[in-house]
Structure 1
Amino acid sequence: MAKLNYAFRFAKSGMMVSFISLIISGCAPSNKATENMTSETIKAPVAKKVPYEMIQHGHKRIDNYYWMRDDTREDKEILAHLAAENNYVDAQMAHTQPLQDTLFTEMTGRLKKDDASVPYEKRGYWWYNRYEGDNEYAIYARKKSSLKNTEEVILDANVLAEGHEYFSLDSVAVSTNNNLLAYSTDTESRRLYTIEFKDLTTGELYQDKLVNTSGSIVWANDNKTVFYIKKDVQTLLGYQVFRHTLGTSQEQDKLVYQENDTTFYTDIGKTRDNKTIYINHDSTLTTGVSVISADMPNAEFKLITPITTGHEYDFDQHNDWYYIRTNKDAQNFKLVKVKRKDSADISKWQDVIPHRENVYFEDFIVFENHLVLEEKENGNTQIRVINLTTNEVTSLPFNDAAYVATFDTNPTSDTGKLRYYYSSLTTPGAVMEVDLNTFSSKTLKQDEVLGKFDSNWYQSERVFVTARDGKKVPVSIVYRKDKFKKDGTNPLYQYAYGSYGIIVEPYFSASRLSLLDRGFIFAIAHIRGGQMLGRSWYEDGKMFNKINTYTDFIDVTKSLTEQKYGAEDKVFAIGGSAGGLLMGAIINMEPDLYRGVAAHVPFVDVVTTMSDASIPLTTGEYDEWGNPANKDSYEYMLSYSPYDQVKAQDYPNLLVTTGLHDSQVQYFEPMKWVAKLRDMKTNDNKLYFQTNMDAGHGGASGRFRRYKERALEYAFFMDLVGINK
């Protein structure tokens, strides 16, 4: 069972996807009249002011830029203003184009163009995806029985993406008999996916099309029934689970579950033993799971145990037993087991792994003869293997100062081998396989870094910074040894997220080498609001403790410069989405600490957004930020809301990015914020705002395009410290 699924204001992605992929680039000016414009002729756009009054709890706010909201995204005046902002960025950054080109060439030059995932075996086939040459998207393929046999391409995403400026393939799901394919695509970046079907024996497409879905697809074992989630097209909440029979129209589909509580998100899946289909019911503080037999798709879903406020759990199953990861009387979670028929009775739950105050229990897998645990202690991941016959416990060894180790693809339970992913700030990611009986291990694949690269050139560290209230904040640091002197002269690139309990792991990034090779120190601040140090670390950085997230980041900055990791006048801060809120908060609180800040798809208009239930994701986040309908929440959120707290003061150099079709943080939040900053800031520091007119929250689609966007950000920072090559 996967870790708890949060549908937060963050790009939907796997753990190893770089946070910098949130960077959004704008469209190049299409009007020929702009071709000869320069940084001298194109001036920063000044937005008109149209006072809009909002009164809550007797308190009045005036929003001069509320007019920038257009849910249709068709208002000509708004689109013209965004285009003007893009033209301004293009003109002002034109002198860095050679540097951007160099950075892009470097970053893409480190990538292996012809690449493939590690094949895994399931139901008599070896499954994998691969890339060819300059293609942006993956080709999905399989080989029957042996990897020596002929390849069968089941789906080529490059073909599907033809003619689309944006393309996302969410799910690729094959029926139990291996003959039918269902897949879901989005070409507008609103995360409203269309599901289609293909006969793998003939190659023909079915006429079935399921629209406005979450993208998730689960096949029943009858090879003709699929389950999917339909979204509300306004709020983008997936709240209805439907059962579809292949060969029928969507209008005939059967509604099998509807979530009426808008604070809950809905997800679906299938257990690794292929026996159970489940629906996850997730809110910030409460979860539930409903199940049916995959052999009985017409059955009624039943809860494993009744939903109780504050109780969070997920599950795996082994024969007649459920293994349940639960926070019942266990803040950091524990593992219990119970006979499946008795699961509703919590009194019959038996402890397997008890709760521990100093260990955060993240995830687990139950194999035929082994139980494998993924845990965090003092911020470092441990993977422990328990032999279910002998109860012998073995921990896998990891030696780096800061690293990530997490379960990889383990599609079946009837195996004695575990696959896991390992990476560190200096070690390219690798898929490892360990024999759970002998503990011999091998590397199935390690990412190649092409060109000049030697991991020994780089050094990583894990340090702890004492925050103002005495808490110890872990920080992961990496630098190039021959470019670093601990004398306070190096530029410092500091990243954090700090919300929803998300753990930003210290993983390797080949594109990051372009920073390190030019002398930047890279630091991840594992601030409160994440769960690096357990559940309490999250609780201490949300709701009425949210200010700790911002002060932790500031305290890390001050400590790293005091310890001479970075120069006081060369500190750069980066955050995206809720991490963009972090950026907005710190520059209001301590603007003089930062030379430059990049805020990507930033969630900055906190009070107004959280007061409007029609905006996507709002209602599901009341337990994260608070509900402004409550006076205490309103006042606390207002005290740090970046948009509301903009004032007449000097601000750092700023690069702000968004996507017009962003479904997580609407484009008008950063648009309004930039307009207000430009009006009120008292210095001449740079303020650039770029909108990708085709993309959404995750930025440009495709494996190479994102590096254009990353090159823009890197060039923005490098230009500020005089690096031009």
Structure 2
Amino acid sequence: MLTPPITPKKPTERIHHGDVHIDDYEWLREKDDPAVVAHLHEENAYTNARTEHLSLLQEQIFEEIKGRTRETDLSVPTREGDWWYYTRTVEGKQYGIHCRAPIAAADDWEPPALDEDAQRNGLPGEQILLDDNEHAEGHEFYSLGSFDVSADGTRLLWAVDTEGDERYTIRVRSLVDDGVEFPDEIEDTASGALFDQSGEYIFYTTVDDAWRPDTVWRHRVGDAPGTGDVQVFHEPDERYWIGVGLTRSRDFLVIEAGSNITSEAWLLRSSDPTGEFAVVWPRKEGVEYDVEHAVVGGRDRLLIVHNDDAVNFELLSVSADDPQGARRVLLPHNPQVRLEGVDAFRDFVAVEYRRDGLTRVAVACVPEKGGAREDGAGEGGAGKDGAADDTAGDDTLHELHFDEELFTVGAGGNPEWTQPTLRLGYGSFVTPSTVYDYDVRTRELRLRKQQAVLGEFDPALFEQKREWATAKDGTRIPISLVYRRDLVTPGEPAPLVLYGYGSYEASMDPSFGIPRLSLLDRGIVFAIAHVRGGGELGRLWYEHGKKLHKKNTFTDFVDSARHLIDTGWTSPDRLAAQGGSAGGLLMGAVANLAPKYFSGILAEVPFVDPLTSILDPSLPLTVIEWDEWGDPLHDEEVYAYMKSYSPIENVHETHYPRILAVTSLNDTRVLYVEPAKWVAKLREVGADALLKIEMAAGHGGVSGRYSAWRERAFAYAWLVDAVGAHPSGE
């Protein structure tokens, strides 16, 4: 028998609201302490030894992922200005190559054909803008955080992180003068830097000591660092993060400040980049809004999606010159439809929303003359029941329909104001990721590309469906499942992996994944429990799974597991749970609540010591997180409630399932110390807990696609073993 590393106890006392908590493992927080580093290496060595019997399976799964993936490939080109922009991948290389090729003519909106030659050699006239492989050389980690080309196409800015701590260095290069680099080199920035419309200035953000983006700066291209960058906006409230961008029309620069429950936007005409930003709506506690610029009848309008007295959000229009003046409601609030966003173009508008737990997209043409319709949606629009009226006029929203029971659809890759089509991403558990262009005038959906799955992939072998569990309070919880119909018979218990998240109103929508096929081909059912705290069923679904309702997230997951067991989908000895980040908190909580239902729990970058973290305002994310979890530092009730579910503080004598915690040393969102302490605590009560820590990675894990595939193969091999599936899939 292998012996796990001994984690020394060095008691630290934490006192809040009269409660005294002794933490024996807080010393592991000292990242630069040689004893801590040595201990983490010991944990990795132990995990490697304990999982050595899975090494062949890991290699098999890695080769399956690799073998199903078209390694030399090309993304669907996106037109911006006079160029088609795309990214290529090359077999054997970890990272992408960012390129462009010239358009044929001003009215050229048809993406070039993606034939075999294009996939291997790029498009005719290709110009390589940035080869991530070259810039990643010599670094164990590489992440691109900003990438922007000036409007005239002559300059490139990019920013990279080579540690995993999400602090990026901006550089600038000419795209016309033999690629000469400018002296600009701006360190310690957040992601999302961009050029202004003129290309003469760069707007970027920096972070405070708690890793919060709090300041927007303006930098003149060509100036050396520290020679006069101008602070244009600073957010002192620690609950708010900020970002900067351009409207699609490029007529306005936008600064957005947002907490988890409140937002505020500031605009500046892009023709005056050194001017003063003006607020759209002053912030109001609990009110969130997004701003999109539109031109209707020759007038500048702002389309605003907001939740002021509209829990599921509504869409209205205001004058860009007087945004706090008269409002016109375009899509009124609908308790059955969660309005998520609007995209405005010169000739049409696209609306994204969620109904019955699934994403939807509807479009309408912009009226050529006069103002917008008073209701904006017509009798069949999304503002009423979300369905389209195909007989309505062009300025009536019409919804795009898809045939599958479960799917995910959304707009993306639409930078051009004048483009005649809407670029869409579509997929499901059984349909590989698909790119469409939708012609708004003809209502034609044009397939541009579907993700290639090499080998003997047959979508007809796979089945996806929706189940509904019932929580103890009577709430119905949706569960999405996918499996191979020739290997799984509903009603006969099968190995099953149940995934969950349930925080921040994030929805875990059905999507395709090549790595997941390695589970399905081994007879494993993959399921997602859409628990409260997520956003699948609207804003109230989120509200009922946060702060003092947070335990609903955990009990919903347990009730989903119980439902899958009671209905014969699986059995406790063949059921594993999986979740990451806030979903890792979910994993830790259900391990304490219902260990008897699970044979294994995979917790990735898990937030398992939430009370310690949320009590410390100096840590990254803490203050902004008070809107999500509550403020235990100043509220005794919140403190007691969080302590009652905190995974690390509720470890107890029981028979825990096998547990694997995966984390990264340089993660700034969920610090490595949380799973390290949790594993040590679990071992105190005899739990079989493993810790795998990436020593050169961040919150998203390792960088580079081959490294990421190996990381996924390790986790999936462990899951296959935990649910008792046959390693070969036979």
Contact 2:522 2:725 in 1 (8 A): no
Asked whether 1:296 is paired with 2:272, we answer yes
In the alignment, which residue of structure 2 is the partner of 1:200?
175
Contact 1:488 1:561 in 2 (8 A): no
Matches within 5 A, 1:250-649: 250-251=225-226, 252-319=228-295, 320-345=300-325, 348-389=326-367, 390=393, 391-629=395-633, 630-649=635-654
In the TM superposition, what is the alpha-carbon distance from 1:362 to its structure 2 partner? 1.1
Give, in whole Å, the separation in 1 of the partners of 2:581 and 2:276. Answer: 38
Give, in whole Å, the separation in 2 of the partners of 1:280 and 1:342. Answer: 18
Asked whether 1:74 is paired with 2:32, we answer yes
In the alignment, which residue of structure 1 is the partner of 2:699?
697
SS at structure 2 position matched to 1:250: coil
In the alignment, which residue of structure 2 is the partner of 1:676?
681
Give, in whole Å, the separation in 1 of the partners of 2:320 and 2:342. Answer: 18
In the alignment, which residue of structure 1 is the partner of 2:118?
none
Give, in whole Å, the separation in 2 of the partners of 1:267 and 1:221. Answer: 17
Contact 1:194 1:215 in 2 (8 A): no
Q: TM-score, normalised by structure 1?
A: 0.92
In the alignment, which residue of structure 2 is the partner of 1:216?
192
Q: Deviations over 1:38-88 (max 9, x none)?
A: xx4x52012111111111011110101111111xx2211101110111000
Report percent identity of matched pairs.
Answer: 37
In the alignment, which residue of structure 1 is the partner of 2:210?
235
SS at structure 2 position matched to 1:142: strand
Give, in whole Å, the separation in 2 of the partners of 1:129 and 1:366. Answer: 25
- Which amino acid counterpart does residue 372 of structure 1 have in structure 2? A
Q: Whose relative contact order is higher, 1 or 2, with alpha carbons under 8 Å and at least 6 apart?
A: 1
In the alignment, which residue of structure 2 is the partner of 1:656?
661
Q: Aligned match of 1:60 in 20, 23, 27?
A: 20
Give, in whole Å, the separation in 1 of the partners of 2:38 and 2:626. Answer: 34
In the TM superposition, what is the alpha-carbon distance from 1:237 to its structure 2 partner? 0.9
**Ranges in structure 2 where 5+ consecutive residues have no aligned partner:** 105-111, 113-122, 368-392
Q: Deviations over 1:69-126 (max 9, x none)?
A: 11xx221110111011100011111111111100100011111011111111111111
In the TM superposition, what is the alpha-carbon distance from 1:405 to its structure 2 partner? 0.4
SS at structure 2 position matched to 1:688: strand
Matches within 5 A, 1:12-23: none
Give, in whole Å, the separation in 1 of the partners of 2:646 and 2:327. Answer: 43
SS at structure 2 position matched to 1:107: helix
- Which amino acid counterpart does residue 724 of structure 1 have in structure 2? P
Give, in whole Å, the separation in 1 of the partners of 2:451 and 2:715. Answer: 24
Give, in whole Å, the separation in 2 of the partners of 1:606 and 1:285. Answer: 20
In the TM superposition, what is the alpha-carbon distance from 1:221 to its structure 2 partner? 2.2
Contact 1:192 1:214 in 2 (8 A): yes
Q: Which moved more, 1:708-717 or 1:491-500?
A: 708-717
Q: Which moved more, 1:595-604 or 1:704-713?
A: 704-713
- Which amino acid counterpart does residue 120 of structure 1 have in structure 2? T
Cα gap change, 1:279 to 1:674, in 2 (>3 Å): same
Q: Aligned match of 1:188 in 163, 167, 170?
A: 163
In the TM superposition, what is the alpha-carbon distance from 1:158 to its structure 2 partner? 0.5
In the alignment, which residue of structure 1 is the partner of 2:387?
none
Contact 1:488 1:567 in 2 (8 A): no
In the alignment, which residue of structure 2 is the partner of 1:246?
221
Contact 2:101 2:126 in 1 (8 A): yes
Asked whether 1:178 is paired with 2:163, we answer no
Contact 2:358 2:509 in 1 (8 A): no
SS at structure 1 position matched to 2:57: helix
In the alignment, which residue of structure 2 is the partner of 1:15?
none
SS at structure 2 position matched to 1:103: helix
Give, in whole Å, the separation in 2 of the partners of 1:452 and 1:161. Answer: 34
Give, in whole Å, the separation in 2 of the partners of 1:238 and 1:383. Answer: 31
State how many pairs are aligned: 677
SS at structure 2 position matched to 1:342: coil
In the TM superposition, what is the alpha-carbon distance from 1:370 to its structure 2 partner? 2.1
Give, in whole Å, the separation in 1 of the partners of 2:73 and 2:411. Answer: 21
Cα gap change, 1:408 to 1:722, in 2 (>3 Å): closer
In the TM superposition, what is the alpha-carbon distance from 1:415 to its structure 2 partner? 2.6
Contact 1:488 1:568 in 2 (8 A): no
In the TM superposition, what is the alpha-carbon distance from 1:722 to its structure 2 partner? 5.6
Give, in whole Å, the separation in 2 of the partners of 1:687 and 1:151. Answer: 51
- Which amino acid counterpart does residue 35 of structure 2 have in structure 1? E
**Ranges in structure 1 where 5+ consecutive residues have no aligned partner:** 1-39
Give, in whole Å, the separation in 1 of the partners of 2:433 and 2:283. Answer: 38
Contact 2:206 2:214 in 1 (8 A): yes
SS at structure 2 position matched to 1:650: coil
SS at structure 1 position matched to 2:435: strand
Cα gap change, 1:164 to 1:498, in 2 (>3 Å): same
